[in-house]
């Protein structure tokens, strides 16, 4: 594959293509080639090449660290990998940082932490993911309860659009917007078309916006314009590279609180979960996470060498109570003083003692470390340590309002019960948001077992929609959930998604069949079998 004016590498050997045929999802899709751009000029060359060869089915799918669980960076055409070359942290100063999309979050975190700042939308996979993927998926994590998702921290995006030129997207006030609308060029046309789409459909977009605290399903058309500020970064954040290719990101960063205490709550059943969550939220925790007994056992089993005797309290609890707790809740309280932080954790503990929970408050960062390690590393442990069955994230990111959890979770578990001979599963997630990640372990080499996936997806998503939730809070649509968007939003809203896609990408050269055009048939015939 010869790409004019492209200075990076083009690789199409079998080993490279096989490596990029996978992400953290349950899919395998073999690309035609993988390219490694060196700079924004290379990206414009790639877009020019895709435009010239769109009639041959050439398209570009941006990829960062490949930790996506939806199949978002998988394609049969050209993968554009940013981690090899476009991985520079360009600037760090008070309250902001500028980075290229291929920067690993772990490196970004160290750079901004050196100046005592934090990007609080980091994910559980923060040791593995890259910032371009965080923006593309509009990622969230343990601190989203207090601080919001990645879109809330994007101040500017440099993007290459379908005309092959690089543009700057940032929030525009009324005067700036009017100037864009008057431009007689490609960029002006984008703004005019998007302005008309949004203002002509304000009421139905507002009605379609899910009423949960987090949502990554579809395009966030409802967040672009509030009547005062017009902000296309809100649309690009979470668009999975389907509207253009991001070449640089300016983030807003925050000062983290200096002190932290973790209130650990062990539940033997979930009957009072909604009441407990409501009670804890009243004390404004910074994070409120959870994981089930299967996840706890996995962590204890494979992290014993790392934490050693620090797991003795949990082992003793299992002996004393006849088994591990059904659910572990982690409520993190932070503050600017040790006294303030500990007092709020103790107040929350006293308030929910009426529910008969077993609880403790950690004394040090080291004391809390094992609990955070289990929460953050559970999925990677499942992927790498369990033999004979593979992780199958197909209902991995559902969310409902927290008050529905006492009835929702038992109904959810009941849907899995008929299939337990062929799978086990773990539940972890963000209890404070009502957002849970369910990861089944299945033998994907069995055609019979693979047939369970669409049946269970239909049932679980129908349940989520009955509780007026979202099928993806932060993991996004990709291959796995795009076919379900019409079921969630209806034909009218999905037609607006398709119109937005066409405005930006009339030749369908940017990550096709994600967000718009994906089918169940394609998804279920590309499930990996090993």
| Same domain as 139, residue 39 | no
Which candidate, 81, 95, 67, 61, places its Cα nearest to that of 8? Answer: 81
- pLDDT of 30 higher than 90: yes
Widest CA span in the chain? 74
Which spans in 353-451 are helix H? 365-385, 405-416, 447-450
CB-CB contact of 433 with 290 (8 Å):
no
Other C-beta atoms within 10 Å of 352: how many? 23
| Same domain as 268, residue 243 | no
**Model confidence pLDDT, tens digit, residues 110-136:** 999 999 999 999 998 999 999 999 999
Q: Does residue 523 lie in a domain region?
A: no
Q: Does residue 510 lie in a domain region?
A: no
CB-CB contact of 131 with 82 (8 Å):
no
Select from 81, 108, 125 the last residue of a domain.
Answer: 81
Q: Does residue 413 lie in a domain region?
A: yes
| Same domain as 138, residue 25 | no
Q: Does residue 22 lie in a domain region?
A: yes
Q: Across-strand partners of 225?
A: 230
| Same domain as 30, residue 138 | no
- pLDDT of 87 higher than 70: yes
**Rounded to whole angstroms, how far apart are CA atoms 356 and 309?**
27
pLDDT bracket for residue 318 (50, 70, 90): low
Q: Does residue 359 lie in a domain region?
A: yes
| Same domain as 199, residue 102 | yes
Q: Which two tokens stand for residue 141?
A: 């994590």
Q: Does residue 87 lie in a domain region?
A: no
pLDDT bracket for residue 382 (50, 70, 90): confident
Which candidate, 17, 50, 15, 46, places its Cα nearest to that of 32? Answer: 17
Q: What percent of the chain has pLDDT over 90?
A: 82
- pLDDT of 315 higher than 90: no
Mean pLDDT to the nearest integer, 166-191: 98
Instruction: Report pLDDT for 309.
Output: 63
How many domains does the chain divide into?
Answer: 3
| Same domain as 153, residue 105 | yes
**Rounded to whole angstroms, how far apart are CA atoms 259 and 242?**
40
Select from 30, 50, 81 the last residue of a domain.
Answer: 81
| Same domain as 335, residue 283 | yes
Q: 380: domain CATH number?
A: 3.40.462.10
| Same domain as 248, residue 174 | yes
Give the range of the structural domain holding residue 106, as residue numbers without chain letter.
Answer: 97-252
| Same domain as 103, residue 75 | no
Mean pLDDT to the nearest integer, 40-45: 98
**Model confidence pLDDT, tens digit, residues 239-272:** 999 999 999 999 999 999 999 999 999 998 888 8
Mean pLDDT to the nearest integer, 295-312: 75
Instruction: Report pLDDT for 296.
Output: 85
pLDDT bracket for residue 435 (50, 70, 90): very high
| Same domain as 328, residue 402 | yes
Q: 160: domain CATH number?
A: 3.30.465.10
Half-sphere exposure of 90 (CA within 13 A, CB side): 13
- The structure's pTM equals 0.94
Select from 447, 466, 485 the last residue of a domain.
Answer: 466
Q: Does residue 167 lie in a domain region?
A: yes
| Same domain as 163, residue 75 | no
| Same domain as 366, residue 454 | yes
Three-state secondary structure string covering 258-298: CEEEEEEEEECCCCCHHHHHHHHHCCCCCEEEEEEHHHHHH
Q: Does residue 386 lie in a domain region?
A: yes
Which candidate, 43, 3, 5, places its Cα nearest to that of 157? Answer: 43
Backbone dihedral angles phi then psi of residue 98, each to the nearest 5 degrees? -120, 130
Q: Mean pLDDT lowest for which of 39-53, 128-142, 160-174, 379-393?
A: 379-393
**Model confidence pLDDT, tens digit, residues 138-173:** 999 999 999 999 999 999 999 999 999 999 999 999
């Amino acid at each position: 594959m010869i790409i004019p004016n492209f200075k990076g590498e083009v690789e199409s050997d079998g080993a490279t293509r096989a490596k990029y045929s996978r992400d953290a999802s349950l899919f395998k899709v073999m690309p035609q080639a993988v390219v490694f751009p060196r700079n924004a000029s290379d990206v414009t060359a790639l877009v020019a090449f895709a435009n010239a060869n769109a009639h041959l089915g050439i398209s570009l799918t941006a990829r960062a660290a490949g930790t996506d669980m939806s199949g978002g960076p998988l394609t049969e055409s050209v993968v554009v990998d940013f981690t090899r070359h476009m991985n520079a942290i360009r600037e760090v100063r008070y309250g902001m940082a500028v980075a290229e999309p291929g920067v690993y979050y772990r490196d970004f975190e160290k750079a901004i932490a050196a100046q005592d700042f934090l990007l609080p939308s980091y994910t559980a996979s923060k040791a593995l993911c890259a910032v371009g993927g965080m923006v593309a998926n509009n990622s969230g994590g343990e601190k989203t309860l207090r601080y919001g998702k990645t879109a809330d921290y994007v101040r500017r995006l440099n993007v290459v659009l379908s005309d092959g030129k690089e543009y700057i997207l940032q929030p525009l006030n009324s005067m700036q917007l009017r100037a864009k609308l008057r431009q007689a060029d490609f960029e002006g046309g984008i703004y005019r078309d998007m302005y008309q789409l949004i203002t002509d459909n304000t009421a139905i977009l507002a009605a379609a916006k899910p009423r949960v605290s987090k949502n990554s399903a579809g395009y966030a058309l409802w967040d672009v314009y509030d009547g005062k500020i017009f902000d296309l970064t809100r649309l690009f954040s979470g668009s999975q590279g389907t509207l253009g290719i991001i070449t640089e990101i300016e983030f807003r960063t925050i000062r983290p609180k200096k002190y932290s205490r973790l209130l650990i709550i062990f539940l033997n059943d979930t009957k009072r979960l909604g009441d407990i969550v409501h009670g804890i939220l009243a004390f404004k925790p910074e994070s409120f996470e959870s994981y089930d007994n299967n996840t706890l056992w996995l962590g204890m089993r494979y992290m014993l060498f790392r934490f050693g005797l620090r797991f003795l309290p949990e082992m003793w609890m299992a002996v004393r109570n006849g088994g591990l707790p059904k659910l572990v809740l982690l409520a993190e309280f932070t503050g600017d003083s040790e006294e303030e932080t500990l007092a709020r954790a103790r107040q929350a503990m006293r308030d929910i003692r009426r529910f008969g929970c077993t609880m403790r408050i950690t004394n040090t960062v080291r004391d809390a470390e094992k609990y955070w390690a289990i929460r953050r590393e559970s999925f990677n442990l499942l992927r790498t340590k369990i033999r004979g069955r593979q992780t199958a994230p197909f209902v991995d990111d559902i969310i409902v309002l927290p008050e529905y959890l006492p009835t929702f979770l038992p109904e959810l578990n009941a849907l899995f019960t008929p299939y337990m001979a062929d799978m086990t599963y773990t539940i972890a997630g963000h209890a404070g948001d009502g957002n849970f990640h369910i990861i089944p372990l299945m033998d994907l080499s069995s055609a019979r077992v693979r047939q369970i996936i669409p049946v269970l997806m239909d049932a679980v998503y129908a349940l989520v929609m009955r509780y007026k939730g979202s099928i993806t809070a932060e993991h996004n649509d990709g291959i796995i959930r795009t076919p379900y968007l019409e079921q969630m939003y209806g034909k009218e809203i999905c037609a607006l998604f398709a119109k937005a896609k066409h405005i930006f990408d009339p030749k369908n050269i940017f990550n096709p069949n994600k967000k718009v055009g994906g089918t169940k048939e394609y998804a279920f015939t590309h499930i990996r079998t090993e």
